[in-house]
């Protein structure tokens, strides 16, 4: 027998798999906290002293937007949201690795830290651990296509 489909549509998620439940709930909470932290930090820095380190402050704002989108995707759930969250988590990890390396190789380019500076050292390395953990969680809910 084949898979049960609703209205002829297919899903590639395991039955009963909800992105915002179990460990996913912790990911939603962490991404929500990081959204607020990165947004607050970047807004205050841009208002108070944008000219000092515009690149760092803009990158912190970009991190906040990425975190917010991932939070939204995890809360929304469903196959499309899962795929969008996976793409954003991969982009987030790439950003952390690029910015983290950049801040170590050329520290003068960053007179002030970003959320992703030194691979998130100022945030207990959570910015580099979080996308890896999220991608593992998101991949866990995928059902292999039948051969």
On whether residue 133 sits in a domain, the answer given is: yes
Paired tokens of 41: 């930090």
- The whole-angstrom separation of Cα 91 and Cα 57 is 18
Q: Which domain holds residue 107?
A: 23-141
- Give domain status of residue 146, yes or no: no
Q: What is the mean pLDDT of residues 115-127?
A: 90
- Cα–Cα distances (Å) from 79 to 11, 21, 73, 142, in that order, read 7, 15, 10, 9
3-class secondary-structure state, position 100: helix
Confidence class for position 122, pLDDT limits 50, 70, 90: confident
The answer to whether residue 1 is domain-embedded is no
What pTM does this model have?
0.79
* C-alpha distance from residue 42 to each of 2, 35, 51, 56, 98 (Å): 51, 11, 13, 9, 19
Number of domains in the chain: 1
């Amino acid at each position: 027998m084949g898979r049960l489909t609703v209205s002829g549509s297919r899903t590639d998620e395991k039955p009963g798999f909800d992105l915002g439940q179990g460990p996913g709930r912790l990911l939603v909470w962490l991404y929500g906290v990081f959204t607020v932290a990165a947004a607050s930090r970047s807004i205050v820095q841009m208002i108070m002293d944008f000219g000092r380190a515009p690149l760092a402050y803009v990158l912190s704002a970009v991190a906040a937007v990425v975190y917010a989108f991932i939070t939204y995707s995890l809360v929304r759930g469903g196959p499309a949201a899962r795929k969008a969250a996976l793409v954003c988590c991969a982009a987030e990890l790439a950003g952390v690795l690029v910015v983290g390396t950049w801040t170590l190789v050329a520290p003068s380019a960053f007179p002030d830290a970003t959320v992703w500076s030194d691979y998130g050292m100022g945030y207990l390395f959570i910015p580099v651990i979080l996308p890896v953990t999220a991608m593992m969680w998101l991949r866990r809910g995928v059902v292999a296509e039948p051969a």
